[in-house]
Amino acid sequence: MLAGKPFKKFIFNLILFSTILRCVIAFYMGLGNDEVYYFTYATQPDWNHFDHPPLVGILIRIFTFNLHWNNAFSMRLPAILGAGINTWLIAECGRLIKSERAGMIAAVLYNTSVYTSIIAGLFILPDSPQLVFWLAAIYCMLKIISLRSNQSPGSLLLLTGFWIGLAMMCKVHALFLWVAFGSYLLFNHRKMLFNPNLYLGLLVSMVIISPIVFWNMQNQFITWQFHSERVGVTDSGVNFKAFFTTLAGQILYNNPIHIFLYVVVLAGLLKSRGFLPAKSISLLLWCSLPLIFATTAASLFRPALPHWSGPGFISLMLLSAAYADDKIRLNRSRLYYTLLNCSAGLILLVVMAGTALIRFYPGTLGSKGDYQTGSGDVTLDMYGWDELLPSFETIRNKDIENGKMAADSPLLVHKWFPAGHLYFYAAYPLSLRIVGEGELNDLHKFVWLNRQNGNVAKGTNAYFIAPSNYFSDPATIYGNDFESVTLAAKIPQRRNGEIARYWYVYRLAHAKRALGKQI
């Protein structure tokens, strides 16, 4: 795969091929639950949001041309372009610590990891822009430790703080990078702890993330409360099911072939570290293992999402690339070329099979039978939501014409999913107000949207749409809040000729009180 390939040409071709592939998939695949949820960040910009900092929403607003070009492709452009930048960045990191071939291997590993190539490289999530800044910070750190004794790290220390600050404006756990760098300096380079530019760099990070602190001061530090509940120790003891689920997810998200390679490399480090300078190994381990161990340990007590530890595996990619390059240089190359080729084949298989399954599977992989049709079928999160708009618009127009509903009758929601899909694919295109009424931990950002969308006033009507794959009965949820709850329509959705799910459209008439959750 890599023998005799010029570095620049190889990286350019890899970026070009992977970017075109991501663009095609982004165009034909609908947005997932998380992706449509982050659209709310773009429609209501703020210093911070309930569950994450604001940068992903700002990027969505920029790449949709201030919300004038809203579709799956435009929403995902920041992630796609970021993946291309990251391919170049990780290649440069590999070239810096070892060789051009190590850079090419690192680039291949980046584009064959499910997490970096698809989850953060295709889907629009806070991880997508975060990885750009994460890698830029790692590159600066590697440059700093490679400087000669007569070279000053001043500007690089400031840049490191800048990139970490921006990474934290995507997800606050980028703070691990400062922990990693500080720990490395403490154990390997104490002299730099006396460099004032180090603390100026830290100050740069603090200034950049000050909006997060400012917003939380105004909102009872609700972000900290939410995340502490997600990772805190409970009284129920060790949760082995959550632990093994997270562990399995990490293996799948990072490509099982990669995990095998990482284990080989980490085992090799116990025997010999001659393939890379000790300072590079130490820094990369600090930038990887603490985050991986922390998120995995959290899963012992609470369910944890596998992608939380995703950025930590980037440094393992660089270590593995340098290790593989060393073995190839010593003419022990067959295993590592085979692993790289298998890894590329596996990711292509996952992409092609996953896309085909989402778009062409007849009907649903989940439950069947009216109100539960499609339940448990995750592929429906990214398929067919654009079909809801024309049917619902027809129903709404007739209701307004017949006097059953008013033009300003909002759409009532009680959970952030499927509220995100309902907002992006139906309410927003129709300029229909969406109002959240329920528990804060169920609604998330939709509580703050109530500030600009208003409420359901006493005596007025509202719509409620329940997709069968996430069915909730509005009579159970809001039966005491309205004089009547009536099924207006049952909209079928087909995939490849078979019923995949239904959308149940309800009219909720004459609210007995004002509805619209407020902080």
In this structure, the answer to whether residues 33 and 106 fall within a common structural domain is yes
Q: CA–CA separation, 412 vs 436, rounded Å?
A: 6
In this structure, the answer to whether residues 324 and 467 fall within a common structural domain is no
80, 21 Cβ separation under 8 angstroms: no
Q: Which of 357, 378, 413 is the last residue of a domain?
A: 357
Q: How many CB atoms lie within 10 A of CB 254?
A: 26
334 confidence band (pLDDT: 50, 70, 90): confident
* 465 found inside a domain: yes
In this structure, the answer to whether residues 432 and 507 fall within a common structural domain is yes
Provide the 3-class DSSP secondary structure of residue 189: coil
* 229 found inside a domain: no
* 314 found inside a domain: yes
87 confidence band (pLDDT: 50, 70, 90): very high
Distance (Å) of CA 156 to CA 17, 190, 194: 32, 17, 15
Domain assignment of residue 377, given as a range:
370-511
* 307 found inside a domain: yes
In this structure, the answer to whether residues 257 and 313 fall within a common structural domain is yes
Distance (Å) of CA 237 to CA 234, 242, 244, 293: 6, 12, 15, 19
Q: Which residues pair with 464 in a beta bridge?
A: 506
305 confidence band (pLDDT: 50, 70, 90): confident
Burial class (CB in 10 A: 0-12, 13-18, 19+), 61: middle
Q: How many structural domains compose the chain?
A: 2
The pLDDT of residue 231: 60
The pLDDT of residue 365: 96
In this structure, the answer to whether residues 342 and 469 fall within a common structural domain is no
Give the phi and the psi of residue 204 in degrees, each rounded to 5. -55, -45
In this structure, the answer to whether residues 402 and 334 fall within a common structural domain is no
Give residue-wise pLDDT tens across range 422-480. Answer: 999 999 999 999 999 999 999 999 999 999 999 999 999 999 999 999 999 999 999 99
Q: Which of 329, 357, 385 is the last residue of a domain?
A: 357
Q: How many CA atoms lie within 13 A of 13 on its CB side?
A: 9
* 29 found inside a domain: yes
In this structure, the answer to whether residues 382 and 495 fall within a common structural domain is yes
Judging by DSSP bridges, how do beta strands 434-436 and 498-511 pair with one another? unpaired
Kindly state the helix (H) or strand (E) to which residue 471 belongs, with its residue range.
Answer: none
In this structure, the answer to whether residues 268 and 382 fall within a common structural domain is no
149 confidence band (pLDDT: 50, 70, 90): confident
Q: CA–CA separation, 511 vs 108, rounded Å?
A: 57
441, 226 Cβ separation under 8 angstroms: yes
In this structure, the answer to whether residues 317 and 455 fall within a common structural domain is no
Give residue-wise pLDDT tens across range 172-198. Answer: 999 999 999 999 999 999 999 999 999
95, 7 Cβ separation under 8 angstroms: yes
What number is the average pLDDT over the span 292-313?
91
In this structure, the answer to whether residues 194 and 94 fall within a common structural domain is yes
468, 375 Cβ separation under 8 angstroms: yes
If you average pLDDT over every residue of the chain, what do you get? 94
In this structure, the answer to whether residues 295 and 393 fall within a common structural domain is no
The pLDDT of residue 1: 57
